[in-house]
A and B are shown apart, each in its own frame.
Chain A
């Protein structure tokens, strides 16, 4: 057990830091430190391509597909330096962290050649089509239908249905979808995992305005939407397995980059507390200390997840990670507003737009819902982690 990094790792750190800081004080200085995930989309697409040009877009991938075969330590270091340099959130994080690893794990050589270069090259932005109006916590209750049509040489999937909470769909090039491909099937059986082009007449995207005023999520309507028959990962009817494997990638090294964002938010609260005198309040100090401790434990929890090579075992740190960070961040939002007081309720500009901390307060209410609510997380922890009996289902 060892926390420190080797001399070689530290020299890699220097290399990362130098390149990142050079870019973000030079050609990409205009997108340094922007917190909003949907701001300056075009510039951030260019940033993805710049990362790719210098082979920094997906360093954990095999070199053959545009990565660097980076070790775990190197990936950790890159994530840390990326955030330290103030680089913006990855607009293609769904492509790089979810779609790409899933194609690497389940795709044929032909599929890898078709999809990976666009992700690694920063030219194909991806989004995720899982949730539906009636498939939220009960995700397997997917009703979007897929059927094969056409002559043998030109067979394609035809997809009809509605997806919801599709982050970044309005500027994505591809979407991965779970759709019911076996008529009459129910639950996790009979679903297929399809990779679809967003730029087609059968797909319509409508933004959903959130309680913080922004519109990061969308509804995605599919009416006779199409993709080739072989644009499918895993076997037909076995898409659930692929979807579940994909969700496991969400707990990868990217969690460390996410934590650096949390670090910035906590630092902003500490700075605000110093500025307005709240820093002397013993109760506020206790809450800040708890937040600091929680953040550190998140980091070392992630380190445990990443260092554990025994992927077969359901690791406790991995299973509890989502609810841990989501709850921590929701509490952080409350702390932020308690520190700011009523000043936090006044928008800075003329529009309904919020600076980092009030926005954290509002946005963090989604953290405990998306990607599996806290209640669903507790079910998973109890049933998979502790082996408790399932709640009997109300199957209709």
Chain B
């Protein structure tokens, strides 16, 4: 038992933090927001210079072969800058194939996803119709769906690979509140689909990595909200004092730190639990996703309030965090859903 980062993990964290601080600037993120929500230059540097587009993809398929802890470190650092990258979809798509694909599909797709040569994403629908290798159905709220070059879609206990440029696929990009991760609707009308060998395992793998990715992004985002607001509160003078010296103000910052420290425990508990195959893994994932989303929402809201008028402007970055927090809260199950899952594990039965 050693709940502290190893030297290698500290090194990865320092590397990715510096990378995003230097490269994921507000100006570049805003340029991507006006386009498809991907900072292409950042993405290619991330994939080729850092080699981390496939951080959790096994090294036999060209990935970095690391675990959920390292993935969380990357997502945390990206989240701290609301980086416009297709991290979430890429990770979920690759993990679905790694967890549920046959050898041939893994060899075919994982090296390209891990190298960042193509953008992948993952989509879910309640109901689909599958006949003769063709799939019909509507998949809503697909992250970076309009930019994807490969799709894994899932429904029930099955998962399929889809070529977004193929027959019977219509993808509609939406103007999305969080422009750093725009959502799309994917409509399949008898589109050619290749079922993954173990669709259920693919779903489980994709969800686990997705929840960790979102929780870690939320942690990084929440910490950035706190750090930026602390810096502001020391410089901003009112009534002849820095506003950060007033208890009504500093206690709200303290409350942010209290939540963030718990969020940090949640992310790395969940990541470790998945890596170690612990019995607690599912509980930890639901805890991390719901708790971190709430923490980020609280911190981003406080960031706006504590900055006063400037925090409400388009020019200031506070709204990027606020909107990302909102997006994370609803994505892949909202807080109530995750907490009901926890309740079923510890209380049993179902809600009336």
Contacts and interface: CB of A to CB of B under 8 A. Distances in A.
A285 interface: yes
Interface string A204-248: 000000000000000000000000000000000000000000000
B104 interface: no
Contacts of A317: 261, 264-265
A285 B339 contact: yes
A-side interface mostly: helix
A316 B250 contact: no
A382 B63 CA distance: 41
Q: Which of A280, A307, A388 has the most CB of B within 10 A?
A: A388
B195 interface: no
A201 interface: no
B343 interface: yes
Contacts of A324: 258, 261-262
A280 B287 CA distance: 20
Contact of A3 (B1, B255, B290): B1
A19 B349 CA distance: 37
Interface stretch (A62-70, A96-104, A287-295): A287-295
A385 B339 contact: no
A388 B1 contact: no
Interface stretch (A41-49, A161-169, A296-304): A296-304
B331 interface: no
A150 interface: no
Given A4-B278, A304-B3, A290 B265 contact: no
Contacts of B276: 2-4
B340 A297 contact: no
B4 interface: yes
A155 interface: no
Interface stretch (A20-28, A135-143, A345-353, A373-381): A373-381
A308 interface: yes
A72 B1 contact: yes
B336 interface: yes
Interface string A361-396: 000000000000001011101110111111110000
B125 to A, nearest CB: 26
Given A293-B290, A382-B251, A282 B265 contact: no
Contacts of B336: 286
Nearest to A4: B276
A3 B257 contact: no
A254 interface: no
B346 A288 contact: yes
B208 interface: no
Contacts of B254: 377-379, 381-382, 385-386
Interface in A303-353: 303-304, 306-309, 316-317, 319-320, 323-324
A5 B339 CA distance: 28
A107 to B, nearest CB: 30
B347 A73 contact: no
A388 B3 contact: no
B115 interface: no
Interface in B332-352: 336, 339-340, 342-343, 346-352
Nearest to B272: A3
Given A273-B347, A300-B269, A2 B2 contact: yes
Nearest to A324: B258
Q: Which of A270, A274, A279, A377 has the most CB of B within 10 A?
A: A279
Q: Which of A282, A375, A386 has the most CB of B within 10 A?
A: A386
Contacts of A379: 247, 250-251, 254
Given A389-B245, A390-B245, A1 B255 contact: no
30 contacts: A1-B268, A1-B271, A2-B272, A3-B278, A72-B1, A270-B347, A279-B349, A280-B350, A288-B346, A288-B347, A289-B343, A293-B266, A293-B287, A293-B290, A296-B283, A296-B284, A296-B287, A300-B268, A301-B265, A304-B265, A317-B261, A324-B258, A375-B247, A379-B254, A381-B257, A386-B253, A386-B254, A388-B234, A388-B242, A389-B244
Given A307-B4, A388-B245, 13 more contacts: A1-B9, A3-B3, A3-B269, A3-B272, A3-B278, A298-B262, A301-B265, A308-B4, A319-B257, A378-B254, A378-B255, A382-B253, A386-B250
Interface of A: 1-5, 9, 72-73, 76, 270, 273-274, 279-282, 285-286, 288-290, 292-294, 296-298, 300-301, 303-304, 306-309, 316-317, 319-320, 323-324, 375, 377-379, 381-383, 385-392
